[in-house]
Structure 1
Amino acid sequence: MSDSSDLRNGLGFDAHRFADARNPRPLFLACLEWEGNGVEGDSDGDVAVHATIDALLSATGLGDIGTLFGVGADSRGAGMRGEAMLRETLGLVHAHGFEPVSMSISIIGNRPKIGRRLDEAQQRMSQICGCPVGITATTTDGMGFTGRGEGLAAIASVLVRKTVAFA
């Protein structure tokens, strides 16, 4: 049994604007493909995954998503699926002696409607991360870029446990 000094928490955020409808992209969220036009971004733009990656890296002191995968069309993360980025990040987290204990993700936007696939999204993220993952969704009552339907955002919180002691 570990004590509380072995636990660390991290917080992550990500946001992307929707792609121009004249140049549609697939919409990925929580490692699932959804109906509708996707978001702009160097990778697949999965805001739930990107926020989770930043939360994992924050909790473990391993940087952030931009440091790990780069930024821009020529970056290492360009064209990558969020699931591949998440799996690589989890490998790094494990290699540094940590394991995820639980995660919570809040998706902010008017679309897609998360409720009909909520269980599927939670199960998919839990399967990949190896811990319970709770997902909620909210709108901003018409305020800000998400409220105007211009894009999506996500906030993620993770709890990790230190599994290996380093000198």
Structure 2
Amino acid sequence: MRIGQGYDVHAFTAGSYVTLGGERIPHVRGVQAHSDGDVLLHALCDALLGAAGLGDIGIHFPDSEARWRGADSRGFLRHVRELLQQKGYRIVNVDATILAEAPRLGAHRAAMRANIAADLCLETARVNIKATTGEGLGFIGHGEGLACQAIALIEYAPEGTGPREGAGPETGSEAVPV
């Protein structure tokens, strides 16, 4: 089992929506970003990549490359899932906390969870999304931007073995049942 954490932040700019979890959510502002600026999916990508020791989103999708301008971050998340599968990892669950004063996210949470579950080939119950405000403090509280923290749990499970069985990718030792 391996754990990774991710974090992403974007400043608000002119616009009429923000993209979170693959959903376009109406808002009085947009986000300043090279891709679609989906802080939720970016933080999840970093958590998953970190858990597998595969760097971060900037290594795989650098903002210096024009091909990623305006890119749909759901494609990033699906690509990260494929990278993990190629290395013999299975995603166990993901959990994220969106930090924003606005927009309100409750009405969009089920759709965001469904998008992420579909992209990661997980049951929706293995995807959790929470939201909180900055209580008027800092750049979040002042409404200058939004951020997301994420954590992911993965397990080494090469094809043909069950969960927690087989050798680990680095050591060659037997995994310990939990």
Q: What is the percent sequence identity of the aligned residues? A: 36
2:147 aligned with 1:156, yes or no?
Answer: no
- For structure 1, the residue ranges without an aligned partner over 5 or more in a row are 1-6
User: Counterpart of 2:134 in 1: which secondary structure?
Assistant: coil
Q: What does the per-residue CA deviation read over 1:81-102, in whole Å, with 9 as the maximum and x for residues that have no partner? A: 1101111111111111111110
State the match for 2:45 in structure 1.
53
Structure 2: which amino acid aligns with 1:66?
G
State the match for 2:57 in structure 1.
65
2:109 aligned with 1:113, yes or no?
Answer: no
User: Counterpart of 1:34 in 2: which secondary structure?
Assistant: strand
State the match for 1:77 in structure 2.
68
Q: What is the aligned length?
A: 157
Q: Report the Cα distance in structure 2 between the residues aligned to 1:26 and 1:85, rounded to whole angstroms.
A: 20
TM superposition shift of 1:78: 2.6
TM superposition shift of 1:119: 1.8
- Poorly superposed stretches of 4+, deviation over 6 Å: none
State the match for 1:8 in structure 2.
2
5 Å-filtered alignment, 1:110-149, equals 110-131=101-122, 132-149=126-143
User: Counterpart of 1:153 in 2: which secondary structure?
Assistant: strand
Structure 2: which amino acid aligns with 1:62?
L
Q: 2:7–2:42: 8 Å Cα contact kept in structure 1?
A: yes
Output the TM-score relative to the length of structure 1. Answer: 0.88
Q: Report the Cα distance in structure 1 between the residues aligned to 2:34 and 2:98, rounded to whole angstroms.
A: 20
Which gives a bigger RCO, structure 1 or 2 (Cα 8 Å, sep 6+)? 1
Rg larger in 1 or in 2?
2
Q: Report the Cα distance in structure 2 between the residues aligned to 1:106 and 1:76, rounded to whole angstroms.
A: 29
TM superposition shift of 1:76: 4.6
TM superposition shift of 1:130: 2.1
